[in-house]
A and B are shown apart, each in its own frame.
Chain A
Amino acid sequence: MNYSHVIPELIVVLVGLILVFFGLFLPLRVKKGLGCISALALIASIVYILKSGVLLTSERAGVYFYEAYAIDSLSQFFKLVFLTVSLIVVIASIKRYEDNKYQDEYYGLLLFATFGMMIVASSNDLVTLFIGFELASMSTYILAGFDKTNPKSLEAAMKYYIIGSISSAIMLFGLSLLYGVTGTTNIEGISAYVAANGIADATGIAILVFLIAGFAFKMALVPFHMWAPDTYEGAPTVISAMLAAGSKKMGFVAAFKVFIVALIALRLDLQSVFFILAIITMTYGNVVAISQKSIKRMLAYSSVAQAGYIAMAFVIMTPLAMGAGMLYILSHAFMKSGAFMAAGAVTHMLWTKNKNVENADYLKNFAGLSKRAPYTAFAMLIFVFALAGIPPTAGFVSKFFLFSSAIQAGYIALVVVAILNSALSLYYYARLVKYMYVLPPAGETLKEPRAYLLAMLIAVIAIFAIGIYPAPFLGWAMNAAATIGM
């Protein structure tokens, strides 16, 4: 058997274990290098996935471990999303945690979380999926509370942990019902069983309810989003980026696998549930984002709204919609992680000047940022315009294809709501831009940390690459959609 396709996973998990082990013995001054090692491991994995060419076909490249683990363009596409988000986070963390003596554990946990997400992306079996889900969740629970001296960070971790555990339990119950009905945990086996024997209405709906509750917690769809704003606000900003841009997508890939592959027979129920969820989510997210003072909270609610747009793919269920949804997931990973990085850079700069700044992420601290920190402000400008869907950015291209697929399938009402939401969101994004570029500076010039700048640069380049030449990215996304039967 040829195990070459799982090399990216092996790199990530082995480097994670090595970091944790050697971190026990290394002195602090050497530990600074651990972040660079993690970054290199992630880059190696990304390069490996791109070079393997799995993304270019819709054929399955390999199945391992008794059909529990599958490599295809869907899995590799999502792994790319997770790895690039982790890379951006790790690069910024090199600066953020340069003096932290626990940084070996930090990078280890980050890599384990990434590894868990990668398992979910490749899982072909409910048990594998659940294990990956939990590995990623456990690691991110700890990471959310990593600033142990900051009560907000602890509160964030606590909320995330309690609600996350309950959701996991609910999801597990849904998975066990599914196993009880079909007698198999293999995703394709379930699909075949349901296609042949059908599924009783009451059971089917119970399964859907539990699974949607479980997955929608990670996706942060309204009304399962309550944890997200508090956690994103309280957690270290780099970790908020990880949660919003990476771990949220794990919910989507799990939903793609379980709903679209295994339970496609229930598509009518799925469509009507997601129709309501999508509309509520995008509207609620955007409306609440308008009134936020904290940028991190605003980004959290905007991230909720964006999840609502992506959820449209589950309503439309055409190949183009699935491809567009995946392209949106990729774009959103860059836009959102970039925006959190910019917010993180600002709080970091303020904290290095004055340890006791309260509410460093508040909108008022962004006043005149274009003069205080021109590069950060410009990057933030790109991120928010991309999130608002202004061309020529990735956000526009993704929205273009997603909304056009809705028109194609005849979901006029849905797309009108989405477009009005998109216009509404422009209000709070433009307000942030106004603060940065129009208002007088709130203080003297700041020294912009280079690690953060590099992280933002990666995101900016990716956003323009997808926005200006989307053909290859759309191709990957369409292949990924094709592998789940679309």
Chain B
Amino acid sequence: MSLPLISLMIVIPLIGAIIAFLSKTRNQARYAAIIASIIPLFITVKMYFQLDPSKMWVVESYDWIPVAGIKYAVGVDGISMPLILLANIVIPLTILFAFGETKQTSKFYGLLLLEQVGVIGVFSSLDFFMFYIFWEVTLIPMYFLISIWGGPRKDYAAIKFFIYTHVASLVMLLAIFSLYFTALAKTGVSSFDMAYLIGMYSGFDPAIKDIIFFALLFGFLVKMPAVPFHTWLPDAHVEAPTAGSVVLAALLLKMGGYGLFRVMLPMLPHTTNTSMVITVVAIIAVVSIVYGAFLALAQKDLKKMVAYSSISHMGYVTLGFVSLVPLSVTGAMYQQFSHGLITCILFMSCGVIQHGAHTRIINDLGGLVHKMPKLTFLMLGGFLASLGLPGMSGFVAEFTVLAGSITTLYVYVLIAVFGGIAVTAAYHLWAIQKAMFGVFNEKLGDVHDMAKYEMVSMAILLLLVIYFGIQPGLVWDVMKSGANMVLAGVNI
């Protein structure tokens, strides 16, 4: 008899969230939050070493709405397990980082735990109905995180984030309906099972195939986000509180990438005109990489720069996904994991600077290293990882994506390399040099360094980034089996 481990991972943060919401004092809320968020990490680690990543480990499956063939089914494999690990690393560290929050603490920590519930649910669902529910559930806590704890334009940012991504989800929902009913009409079996419906896709009528594919793709690309569907992201990030930005960039964006690997990749070879689809997606990917980098270069606000850098980095995920080579697909998955860790450091740095110096405008900063040596050290680590310094996880991911893709998509890779990488290095170095080094800007007044819990949280993240840069195997091998498993059904 084995415990329902994945359900526990979903239920424990949910209980933690309820305790946090009901707690009267700040201490009660934050300790409940940290405990409830860290237990799933232990469960993940335990599962991680039992996992056979080359096949789906269905942990639980029960009938939920039998009339419509809807099941409660959760499981993990090589594609989802590393992302669940990521979620369970990021949320506790975010809560630790935000240990100093003073405004409406019970709600704040409760909402962060609800995000954990939603994200783990998305990554472990095996049924489209569940998948969609958890997908939507992640929106609401984020809406509140932005609209209660956000910056000056929070109203606009929160509602834009909410409605924009909700519309994308609804388009995805329509595609799920079409999948379901087309399969139902063909076989008479009503089932929302993801693997089953994706498997049925190849036999569909060509007239509906492309509509379904692009509707799903739209849902996922908005979440990633890819240019030209990225406009909600900078607003949401700039206005969100640090913890909200971290969760948004490190986890919610990854849901879009996860959808690409889980849903789109097995379908891609069966579209009516696969080479056209590959071209479209590759162009979107490369434009995201290059245009995102240039947008980042033009930003005055440090946090906005980091937000645009996310768009650029997520472009590698799309590029690796569409090249359909095991190396690049694994690299793209690795990029999701690695970016999830690195972006936390970047957003946390922005948060610390905002808190200490009361501004994030790069030109108004300067010489912060004299007042914030600890932050500068950790931030420099994060920035170097983000620009792809060898020895850190970002390099492994981007290198393998490019090295794998060059066999099938060499034109796009060349554009990405020459248009993106130099600019990426430029904006990172330029920003950190202007903001942190040089002469201290006396107008900033009394600037203090980061709090201890913030430092611990960021230091752990930086250590992980370095560890996974030197020794990617622990996650890489699992992802590789997952990628091989998906690609086994893909013959181009």
Contacts and interface: CB of A to CB of B under 8 A. Distances in A.
Interface of A: 385, 390-392, 396, 400-401, 403-404, 407-408, 415-416, 419-420, 422-423, 426-427, 430-431, 434, 437-438, 469-471, 474-475, 478
Contacts, number: 74
B470 interface: no
A426 B140 CA distance: 12
A474 B67 contact: yes
A146 B174 CA distance: 46
A244 B359 CA distance: 50
Nearest to B67: A474
Given A390-B140, A438-B148, A474-B67, A403 B133 contact: no
Interface stretch (B53-61, B162-170, B265-273, B338-346): B162-170
A471 B66 contact: yes
B52 interface: no
B174 A415 contact: yes
Chain B CB count within 10 A is highest, among A385, A419, A420, A431, for A419
Interface stretch (B177-185, B249-257, B302-310, B362-370): B177-185
Given A390-B140, A400-B129, A474-B67, 16 more contacts: A396-B133, A396-B136, A403-B173, A403-B174, A403-B177, A404-B180, A416-B174, A419-B171, A423-B163, A427-B163, A430-B158, A430-B163, A434-B159, A438-B147, A471-B65, A475-B67
List the 4 closest pairs (A to B, CB-CB), nearest first.
Answer: A407-B177, A391-B133, A404-B177, A408-B181
Nearest to A474: B67
Interface string B170-208: 110110011011001000000000000000000000000
A385 B181 contact: no
A392 B147 contact: no
A423 B181 contact: no
Interface in B59-82: 64-68
9 contacts: A401-B68, A403-B174, A407-B174, A408-B181, A426-B163, A427-B163, A430-B158, A430-B163, A437-B144
A369 to B, nearest CB: 14
Nearest to B154: A438
B174 A419 contact: yes
B201 to A, nearest CB: 16
Contacts of B184: 408
A475 B143 CA distance: 34
Interface string B141-154: 00110011000001
B15 to A, nearest CB: 16
Contacts of A400: 129, 173
A10 B8 CA distance: 49
B132 interface: yes
B159 A430 contact: yes
B137 interface: yes
A415 B171 CA distance: 10
Given A391-B132, A391-B136, A404-B181, A437 B67 contact: no
A390 B67 contact: no
A468 B154 CA distance: 31
A460 to B, nearest CB: 15
A423 B155 contact: no
B65 A470 contact: yes
A392 B170 contact: no
A420 B167 CA distance: 7
Contacts of A407: 174, 177-178, 181
Nearest to A475: B67
A31 B111 CA distance: 46
A422 B170 CA distance: 9
Contacts of A403: 173-174, 177
Interface string B117-146: 000000000000100110011011001100
A403 B170 CA distance: 10
Given A391-B132, A391-B136, A407-B177, A423 B166 contact: yes
Contact of B140 (A385, A401, A469, A470): A385
B117 to A, nearest CB: 11
Contacts of A385: 140
A434 B147 contact: yes
B159 A423 contact: no
A417 to B, nearest CB: 12
Contacts of A423: 163, 166-167, 170
**Which residue, of A390, A415, A474, has the highest number of chain B Cβ atoms within 10 A?**
A390
B120 to A, nearest CB: 15
B137 A392 contact: yes
A430 B147 CA distance: 10
Nearest to A320: B68
Contacts of A422: 170
Contacts of A475: 67
Contacts of B166: 423, 426
B125 to A, nearest CB: 12
A474 B132 CA distance: 19
A420 B162 CA distance: 14
Contacts of B139: 390
Given A403-B177, A404-B177, A434-B147, A390 B136 contact: yes
Nearest to B139: A390
A416 B174 CA distance: 9
B144 A391 contact: no
Contact of A434 (B132, B155, B170): B155
A434 B137 CA distance: 18
Nearest to A434: B147
A475 B67 CA distance: 8
A470 B154 CA distance: 36
A401 B68 CA distance: 9
B137 A391 contact: yes
Nearest to B181: A408
A434 to B, nearest CB: 6
A437 B148 contact: yes
A422 B143 CA distance: 17
B488 to A, nearest CB: 31
A419 B171 CA distance: 8
A471 B63 CA distance: 10
A415 B129 CA distance: 18
Contacts of B155: 434, 438
